[in-house]
Amino acid sequence: MNELFKQIPSVDILLKNQTVKDLLETYGREYVLATIRKGINEVRENIKAGTINMETSLEKEILNKTKAIINKDEKMNLRPVLNGTGTILHTNLGRATLSKKAIDAIVSVASESSNLELNLETGKRGSRYDHVVSLLQELTGCEDAIVVNNNAAAVLLILASISSEKESIVSRGELVEIGGSFRIPEVMALGGAILKEVGTTNKTHLKDYAENINKNTALLVKVHTSNFAIKGFTESVSTKELGELGKKYNIPIYYDLGSGALYDLKNYGIPNEPTVKILIEEGLDILSFSGDKLLGGPQAGIILGKKAFIEKMKKHQLLRAFRVDKLTLAALEATLREYLDMDKVAEVNPTLEKLTVSKETLQHKGELLCSFLENQLKDVTLTLIETEALVGGGSLPELLFPSYCVSLEFNNNSLGQKLLEALRKGNPSIMCRMHQDALLIDIRALEKDKFTKISESIIKEWETLLK
Ligand SMILES: *Cc1c(COP(=O)(O)O)cnc(C)c1O
């Protein structure tokens, strides 16, 4: 071992190597020297552990390790992942992917100065929200609108500006927790609202709201139970009935919609999700929803409502803390513009495209991916199977969509799990799942133009595993 330690070349000798000279050219002296030292340390550790590769020279070993460290350093921590889970709006995978125009809008506003808060007509200071308000008015019929960082921020801003130190009435069946630690009762408390729970977990009637209205009632709140379903003996009050009650007592109704659809999805297996436009027509005073769920845009909290309420929110101190940045606004404006053409939007908005794709098209896509892998994976049985996929993202509980999966079955079961891990850690990363010893790659959330990349990656990782 001591003999090997003595053979480790010095940094000065390594610096004379052509590979290192090339690295110095690209990465600069300081970084390369630090990385070479890390490479040397790794080689020392290997010698100590008796795991050093004796087939190559120590110099070569150090250089290989140095290059590997540089490669790893160069890879972004936050990077694209190919979504073979079938879940279209996967919160852990960043929810909605953006349309081409939305991406272009981000790039162009990021590359140059913009009129973010400047009215180009008057030359005076403008509002960043103005860029999307008229679009939201046109698409939903709302009086006014404002956009914040996400829907959680929207809920908090609405409660803080409308119901602070006043009572907000909510059904016990709608006191939900949404992912992480976002709990409606706690958010209400944070907003300074006094929570008035009414009804029971499974049943809340209109009279439960009516009987609890008093002088200090500021808001009737309805929350979309996005991520669970209460089944059986249940009853909740419709937005329409609630709207009528609110009018009678002159108390505004706020609906935390969660997903919020601008596109009518009832013919695509999502029957109970009325469009935002219909809800506004029903007379709701304030609505909020996420930008990156069913809308298929960037992360944002979109608030629509009567002018007087939106004005209050604009004046609230929290708005500054929750405000959206220009990149979000650029992507949101582009996303909303595409909704102006309802006949085309489902072709260009990736979320809608994945939700509305026909079963036949999915099958064709599945067959295409299979054809890329056919005869390329030794000892793997490749089939295309019909499955069911979730929409996800805390949207639409229980709704399962028909989908197709490319299924890989292995002679040796442990290899399936190993391949799953290798694909996750690979470049590109591919997320898929195991089901009864088969590795399933769901087609629904995958882009067709990534199939070459996906199949090359699967083939490469599989060959590595077989070695
Ligand atoms: C998803 C959801 C939220 C949180 O929205 P984010 O945009 O993730 O902050 C709040 N309320 C409901 C009902 C939701 O479904």
Q: Do 229 and 397 contact (CB within 8 A), yes or no?
A: yes
Q: How far apart are the first and last CA of the chain?
A: 29
Other beta carbons within 10 angstroms of residue 374's beta carbon come to 11
What domains, with CATH codes, occur in the chain?
A: 2-74 (no CATH), 81-91+353-466 (3.90.1150.180), 100-344 (3.40.640.10)
Ligand 1 atom with least separation from CA of 395: 15
Closest Cα to residue 295, out of 175, 184, 142, 151?
A: 151
Q: Which residue's CA is minimally distant from atom 14 of ligand 1? A: 258
- Going from the Cα of 455 to the center of ligand 1, the distance in angstroms, rounded, reads 35
* DSSP 8-state class, residue 232: S
Instruction: Read off the tokens for 167.
Output: 């009572």
Instruction: Read off the tokens for 62.
Output: 């150090």
Question: How far, in Å, are 55, 152, 274, 404, 444 from residue 286 at the CA level?
Answer: 71, 15, 16, 39, 34
Ligand 1 atom with least separation from CA of 300: 7
**Residues 251-270 as b or e (16 or more Cβ within 10 Å = b):** bbbbbbbbbbbbbebeeeeb
Pocket test for ligand 1, best of 150, 182, 225, 292 (most atoms within 8 A of CB): 182
DSSP letters, 34-47, are: HHHHHHHHHHHHHH
Question: How far, in Å, are 167, 213, 237 from residue 207 at the CA level?
Answer: 17, 10, 10
Q: Do 227 and 183 contact (CB within 8 A), yes or no?
A: no
Q: Determine the Cα angle at 18 with ends 15 and 24, to 5°.
A: 60
Q: Do 252 and 306 contact (CB within 8 A), yes or no?
A: yes
pLDDT in tens, the chain (467 residues): 888 899 999 999 999 999 999 999 999 999 999 999 999 999 999 999 999 888 889 999 999 999 999 988 888 899 999 999 999 998 899 999 999 999 999 999 999 999 999 999 999 999 999 999 999 999 999 999 999 999 999 999 999 999 999 999 999 988 877 766 778 888 888 889 999 999 888 888 999 999 999 999 999 999 988 666 566 677 788 888 898 999 999 999 999 998 899 999 988 888 778 899 999 998 899 999 999 999 999 999 999 999 999 999 999 999 999 999 999 999 999 999 999 999 999 999 999 999 999 999 999 999 999 999 999 999 999 999 999 887 775 556 667 888 999 999 998 878 999 999 999 999 889 999 999 899 999 999 998 889 999 999 999 999 999 88
> What lines the ligand 1 site, CB under 6 Å?
150-152, 155, 178, 182, 223-224, 226, 256, 258, 290, 301, 394
